[in-house]
Amino acid sequence: MSAALKRAGAGAPRHFLELLDIDSGALRRMLDIGLRAKRGELTGKPLAGKHIAMIFEKPSTRTRVSFEVGIRQLGGEVVSLAGKDTQLGRGESPADTARVLSRYVDAIILRTDRVAKLRELAAHATVPVINALTDVSHPCQLMADVMTFEEHRGPIAGQVNAWTGDGNNVARSFIQAAARFHFRLRLATPPELAPPAELIAQARAEGADVELFTDPFEAVRGARCVVTDTWISMSDDKASIRQRHNLLAPYQLNSRLLAAAAPDALVMHCLPAHRGEEITDEVIDGPQSVVFDEAENRLHAQKGVLLWALGLA
């Protein structure tokens, strides 16, 4: 679509910012497309002639490579930028950046530690904007996690998933996913690191079955999947590392904790892992771990996100 047509308003762009912004049917469609892509059932090059800008203001291995490879496999072109190499990184407003990039590219993917920046970019872009992680959410990760659960255990609806550790950005997207994919979610966090009460209330108002615990053994009891993540996220204050480690040590995903879950419980971690901190070697490398399937599924699930956002599926 030409820049002029985009400005003329051929419909609002389909942003992928937060799972709660999008209805369950659309999210399910994205997963179905992702699975078709994984099975090699997508014909042709649906992104041929499309250019996609990726801006990463924070480090990334999985998200950046899986998006870049996925776009190329679908026939698209990628312009990949480190935040510090852009004027956005030097203080140009997200609004002006959005207006300019919308005249060059067909979609914008942003990783930032300021969700306000993502929202401002999306508010002023005339092309779809995709959230590649912010300080408060990581919806692309949850698309891969749901896909991974269902590949191994069938439909996730009604199943108990447990989170142990920090109530961080991935945990918050898990809460949103519980509302949209209709699974039961039990989160164990130290009270100081619990996810925001407003988010819990919002997800519950959308039908999410979410329970909060401080005891990880209570949270994981009988769960079909146990998930954890790093104790220090990219947006966390590094001065608080010792205090966070002390708070989170009882939440480590180790063999003793995993034994409290269902005997066939899956283990997930979005990676990168800090082995010996939030998860032990024996668990992440053990027979119940699906962390590398989860990492692979970023590639497939995000193809569904891209094709949905661009109105091509």
The set of catalytic residues is 111, 138, 141, 229, 270, 298
CB within 8 Å of 12: residues ≥ 6 apart: none
Position among 62, 184, 244, 303 found at the interface with ligand CP (CB under 6 A): 62
Which part of the chain contacts ligand CP (CB under 6 A), choosing from 30-38, 54-62, 116-124, 250-258? 54-62
- The answer to whether 235 contacts ligand CP (rule: CB under 6 A) is no
User: Where does this chain touch ligand CP (CB under 6 A) — which range of 55-63, 176-184, 219-227, 236-244?
Assistant: 55-63
Contact status: 60 vs ligand CP (CB under 6 A): yes
The reply on whether position 274 binds ligand CP by CB under 6 A is no
**Can residue 61 be called a binding residue for ligand CP (CB under 6 A)?**
yes
Site string for ligand CP, 63-82 (x = CB under 6 A): x-------------------
Shortest Å, Cβ 270 to ligand CP: 4
Other CB atoms within a 10 A radius of the CB of residue 313 amount to: 19
Q: Which residues between 129 and 188 bind ligand CP (CB under 6 A)? A: 133, 141
Residue 270 interacting with ligand CP (CB under 6 A): yes
Instruction: Considering the complex, state which of residue 97 and residue 137 has its C-beta at the smaller distance from ligand CP.
Output: 137
Nearer to ligand CP by C-beta: 252 or 302? 302
Question: How many residues of this chain bind ligand CP (CB under 6 A)?
Answer: 8
Q: How far apart are CA 128 and CA 14, in angstroms?
A: 5
Does position 291 bind ligand CP by CB under 6 A? no
Contact by Cβ (8 Å): 310, 49: no
**Minimum distance from residue 234 beta carbon to ligand CP (Å):** 8
Report strand pairing: 225-228 vs 184-188. Answer: unpaired
Handedness of CA 216, 218, 219, 224 (dihedral sign): positive
The answer to the question of residue 252 lying near ligand CP (CB under 6 A) is no
- Interaction site with ligand CP (CB under 6 A): 60-63, 133, 141, 270-271
